[in-house]
Amino acid sequence: MKTPSLVVSYGPHWHCGASIKSAMYGMALALMPAAAWGIHLYGIDAARVIALAVVCCVVSEALVQKLFKKPITVTDGSAILDGLLLGLILPASAPFWMVMVGSFVCILVGKQVFGGLGSNPFNAVLVGWAALKISWKAQMNFDVALVNYDIDAAVAYPLGVLWKHGASALSGVSMFDLFVGNEAGGIGCTSVLWLGIGGLFMILRGLISWRTPVCFLAGVALMSAVFWMADGARFASPLFHLLAGNVVIGAFFLAPDYASSPVSSRGKVLFGLGGGALAVLLRTWSAYPDGTFFAILLMNILSPLLDARRARPRRAA
């Protein structure tokens, strides 16, 4: 019998089928409903911002990798996902140069200087976002930036109202509007419904663990419940905090970022609870109406520490 040519290796001889591409494109797919909602709300302006952010991130990644003399890996989908996420957390009115600066900062400072995909200590998208938020306050302020859009709700930007006037001014806000996404905010940040569907898809598909998002939402609910029970007239209800602003996109899409969030189960739980609680604290006491993204960035610093807080494994015999 002729000896056939055989492949020689150790196990395992099966693989679950996941790949970097399938993970990145899977997450991008999960963002599509929210992106569609944003385009429905803000029309062509939203599509312009998203498309520009995606293109800028991909081009920046290719440029920076060429500059750093590293293999160019833009086809793995991670730059596309970064661009998509950045586009979705910006206002539809963002000028083109702001999107370009944000994308470049996200790729260069957020990701590539640390060694690229998987090595960033901070969520790269939020690094780009934070640079814009701090630099161009007016363009990033939803109250000011989105004044020309007609949002079909009693209060356009409820978090801004809460921040300025307290919870008693929120009486006209419909929880249903917040759930569907009828409020001012980033293009794809506001619709709890569509983001939730995307998040559920990622959890079922095994792209993210349920622990980070669920604990993040629990952290928001618990911390806001503490305030609310202390003074219901000044502080908003947990339901309002969960539905309004960036909490849901943060919980499902930004907090579970692979590189910048903890790996261990216990770390994920602590990271989620801490991030959620911090988000409510920042909403209550910081200089910004919505501190969700800053809360995630701050928790990123802690993630190695949260991972270290794990029990020693049981030893094999």
Partner 1 sequence: MQTASFFSFWAPRIRLNTDIVPIQKASVPTRVRLFTEHDRLEVETGAAVKTGQRLAPDLVSPVTGDVTDVSSFRGPDGLTLTSISLDVAGEDDIQEGLSPLPDFEGRQRDELAAALSDLGCHIDVPSQASIAVVNGLDLDPAQAINQQTLREDAAMLPDAVSLLKALTGAARIVVATTPQLRNLTERHAGAQAEIVELDPVYPNGLPEVILRRLGDPNGAAADGFVVGIERLFAMVAALKSGKPVQDKLLTLSVLSTGLCKNLRARIGAPIDVILQEHDIDLGANGKLITGGVMRGVACYSTDFAVTPETDSITVQHETDVAAFEPNACLNCGKCSAACPMDLRVDLICRYSEYGLFERCRELDIDACILCGLCAYSCTARRPLIHLLKLAKAELAAESAAKGGQP
Contact map string, positions 15 to 34, toward partner 1, x by CB under 8 A: xxxxxx--x-----------
11 binds partner 1 (CB under 8 A): yes
CB 166, min distance to partner 1, A: 40
Distance CA 3, CA 244 (A): 67
Contacts of partner 1 in 252-291 (CB under 8 A): 258-259, 262-265
Between 3 and 148, CB nearer to partner 1:
3
H helices of 166-288, in order, are 175-180, 192-204, 211-230, 238-243, 247-249, 265-285
Which is closer to partner 1, CB of 6 or CB of 233?
6
According to the binding rule CB under 8 A, does residue 199 interact with partner 1?
Answer: no
Helix axes 96-105, 44-67, angle to 10 degrees: 40
Selected from 9, 134, 233, 287, the binder of partner 1 by CB under 8 A is: 9
Integer Cα distance of 224 and 230 in angstroms: 10
CB of 38 to partner 1, least distance (A): 26
Query: Which residue among 166, 210, 234, 302 contacts partner 1 (CB under 8 A)?
Result: 210
Decide: 209 and 267 in contact? Cβ < 8 Å: no
Pick from 181, 201, 177: which is nearest to 31 by CA?
A: 201
Is 3 a binding residue for partner 1 by CB under 8 A? The answer is yes
12 lines the binding site for partner 1 (CB under 8 A): yes
Size of the site for partner 1 (CB under 8 A): 46
Residue 69 binds partner 1 (CB under 8 A) = no
Write the single-letter amino acid at 71. P
Q: How many other C-beta atoms can be found within 10 angstroms of the C-beta atom of residue 83?
A: 30
Q: What angle do CA 153, 156, 158 make, to 5 degrees?
A: 105
Radius of gyration of the chain (CA): 21
Which residues are near partner 1 by CB under 8 A? 1, 3-20, 23, 115-119, 203-206, 208-210, 258-259, 262-265, 307, 310, 312-317
